[in-house]
Amino acid sequence: MEQKSNAGKLEAQYLRFLRTPNRPDDYDTIKLIGRGAFGEVRLVRRKQTGKVFALKSLLKSQTIAQLQAARVRAERDILAESDSPWVVKLYTTFQDSNFLYMLMEFLPGGDLMTMLIKYQVFSEDITRFFMAEVIEAIEAVHRLGFIHRDIKPDNILLDRHGHIKLTDFGLSTGFRKLHDTNYYQRLLKAPELPKPIAKPIDHRHRDSVNIDQINMTVSNRDQINEWRRSRRTMAFSAVGTPDYIAPELVMGLGYSFSIDWWSLGAIMYECLIGWAPFCSEDATDAYRKIVHWRDSLQFPEDFQLTYNAENLIRSLMCEAENRLGRIGAEEIKAHPFFAGVDFSSLRRIRAPFEPHLSSETDTAYFPSEEELANNAIQLEAARAAAEPAGATDGFEPPEMTLPFIGYTFKRFENNFQ
């Protein structure tokens, strides 16, 4: 009888949970911890429970204007479907007249990019640990039927114990209708976009590029230092950085899950060498180097990597048809570089960097609000142009509602309530 009574209470609690709408004013802002081209992330505390979360908000108007509805939906879907310890946990999504919201777990260790900026180079042992965890995370995403397409240090977060979780699935695809930008173009009766996700390079002229003009090797230390200084700014920008993108994606060719493994190789290179393999002063240069990776992928002589480390990087950053991992993550796990690694117990191992936190709201591993303020101009202008929530007299234009039907999601967990 007691079991039935508890089940009944749980069911009533669940139904009440589903009926209770979420609103931005259910949360108190503690601090701004992230800002992008048309959205921001705040550390918040739920008023009802006092629990701490990360709340991501995106401007609907800019989501539509920048043709980002498919990206937003893809991210929402993969986070809603995932229950993996290697993927940041999504608790709920909701919306109002002007904004889309995603309430996620707060990971106080910052991101891998911050660690790389601080330490510049990792040892092979530390690199092995992080790459093993990233492999597990990418494999978890692939098991759900998604390709991440944007694996980079900025999107690898660290929890309070120093273990990684993947985030930012805005470029991910599960090859679904709702993840196709053209679907939203048709929905809003706008002209369709070309199919490729990246602008294809004209193959008739691709091989005629003057190699001498590309500056294939990175020998200029000033250039490297400038690249390091601009990493955080690039992470905030709408364009982002192409440093970790596979060549088949750059050229608009057919691609598979293996593009994420190319990105793994690029990150591993940066961990061991101190800069990305194709770092350049501008994105155009980086794209050219990626297209001509056979010439531009070079290992500086003053960095003595072990044979297994260099071999793994070269096995990941190669032609798609020969790329390690093309038939599954187990291929990569079996590489000699990971000899002795127990992939099943990674999260039980003490991480090489454990964040020193003074409280559950410590944001020492995140950019300062001054750094974030420097990126605020575009977002604040868009926010000012948006009509205040609730000022629509009950009417919302179709372009603000149709693309976001079905966006709302709730995960029923005690630690969210």
Cα separation of 113 and 151, whole Å?
A: 12
Instruction: Identify whether 158 is part of a domain.
Output: yes
Are 259 and 169 in the same domain?
Answer: yes
Are 265 and 251 in the same domain?
Answer: yes
Q: What per-residue confidence (pLDDT) applies to 398? A: 63
pLDDT, tens digit (0-9, with 9 covering 90-100), for 381-392: 555 555 554 444
Q: Residue 402 above 50 pLDDT?
A: yes
Q: What per-residue confidence (pLDDT) applies to 97? A: 85
Are 136 and 88 in the same domain?
Answer: no
**Size (the chain), residues:** 417
pLDDT, tens digit (0-9, with 9 covering 90-100), for 100-147: 999 999 999 999 999 999 999 999 999 999 999 999 999 999 999 999
Q: Residue 242 above 80 pLDDT?
A: yes
Instruction: Identify whether 150 is part of a domain.
Output: yes
Are 192 and 334 in the same domain?
Answer: yes
Cβ-in-10-Å burial (0-12, 13-18, 19+) of 93 comes to: buried
Q: Residue 198 above 70 pLDDT?
A: no
pLDDT, tens digit (0-9, with 9 covering 90-100), for 268-296: 999 999 999 998 878 888 999 999 999 99
- Give the range of the structural domain holding residue 373, as residue numbers without chain letter: 13-108+360-410
Are 140 and 245 in the same domain?
Answer: yes
The two three-digit tokens of residue 400, written as one number: 């603000």
Q: Residue 232 above 70 pLDDT?
A: no
Kindly report the CATH number assigned to the domain that includes residue 46: 3.30.200.20
Average pLDDT over residues 196-200: 41
Are 338 and 192 in the same domain?
Answer: yes
The two three-digit tokens of residue 383, written as one number: 């926010």
Name the more confident of 148 and 7.
148
Closest CA to 37 of 400, 384, 381: 381
Indicate the residue type of 173.
Answer: T
- Alpha carbon dihedral 136, 138, 141, 143, in 10-degree steps, equals -60
Instruction: Identify whether 162 is part of a domain.
Output: yes
Q: Are the beta carbons of 346 and 133 closer than 8 angstroms? A: yes
Are 90 and 202 in the same domain?
Answer: no
Q: Are the beta carbons of 17 and 417 closer than 8 angstroms? A: yes
Are 150 and 291 in the same domain?
Answer: yes
Tell me the backbone φ, ψ of residue 120, rounded to 5 degrees.
Answer: 65, -50
Instruction: Identify whether 354 is part of a domain.
Output: no
**pLDDT tier at 203, thresholds 50, 70, 90:** very low
% of the chain exceeding 70 in pLDDT: 68
Instruction: Identify whether 7 is part of a domain.
Output: no
Average pLDDT over residues 180-196: 53
Are 22 and 59 in the same domain?
Answer: yes
Q: Is 83 a catalytic residue?
A: no
Tell me the backbone φ, ψ of residue 158, rounded to 5 degrees.
Answer: -115, 130
Are 337 and 381 in the same domain?
Answer: no
Q: Residue 247 above 80 pLDDT?
A: yes
Q: What per-residue confidence (pLDDT) applies to 13? A: 56
Closest CA to 56 of 379, 402, 390: 379
Residue that has been written with the tokens 């079991």 in this structure: 3
pLDDT, tens digit (0-9, with 9 covering 90-100), for 363-377: 999 887 766 665 554
Check residue 200 and report its DSSP letter.
P
Which is catalytic among the residues 96, 150, 159, 168? Answer: 150
Instruction: Identify the domain boundary among 321, 348, 375.
Output: 348
Q: What per-residue confidence (pLDDT) applies to 347? A: 96
Instruction: Identify the domain boundary among 348, 382, 399.
Output: 348
Name the more confident of 308 and 188.
308
Are 71 and 131 in the same domain?
Answer: no
Average pLDDT over residues 241-258: 90
Residue that has been written with the tokens 């707060």 in this structure: 106
Kindly report the CATH number assigned to the domain that includes residue 310: 1.10.510.10
Cα separation of 263 and 268, whole Å?
A: 9
Q: Are the beta carbons of 57 and 40 closer than 8 angstroms? A: yes
The vertex-291 CA angle with 288 and 296, nearest 5°, equals 75
Task: Determine which of 52-61, 125-134, 330-339 has the lowest per-residue pLDDT on average.
Answer: 52-61
Instruction: Identify whether 6 is part of a domain.
Output: no
Check residue 150 and report its DSSP letter.
-
Cα separation of 3 and 10, whole Å?
A: 11
Q: What per-residue confidence (pLDDT) applies to 199? A: 40
Cα separation of 329 and 343, whole Å?
A: 11
User: CB-based contacts of 194: which residues, under 8 Å, 6+ apart?
Assistant: none
Alpha helices per DSSP H over 144-258: 181-187, 203-206, 221-229, 231-236, 247-250
Annotated binding site for ATP, which residues? 56
What is the average pLDDT value for the chain, to the nearest integer? Answer: 79
Instruction: Identify the domain boundary among 348, 376, 398.
Output: 348
Are 302 and 172 in the same domain?
Answer: yes
Total domains in the chain come to 2
Q: Which H or E element spans position 99?
A: strand 99-104
Coil, helix or strand at residue 177: helix
Name the more confident of 28 and 368.
28
Cβ-in-10-Å burial (0-12, 13-18, 19+) of 250 comes to: buried
Q: What per-residue confidence (pLDDT) applies to 93? A: 93
Closest CA to 22 of 415, 411, 414: 411
Annotated binding site, which residues? 56
The two three-digit tokens of residue 134, written as one number: 């990233």
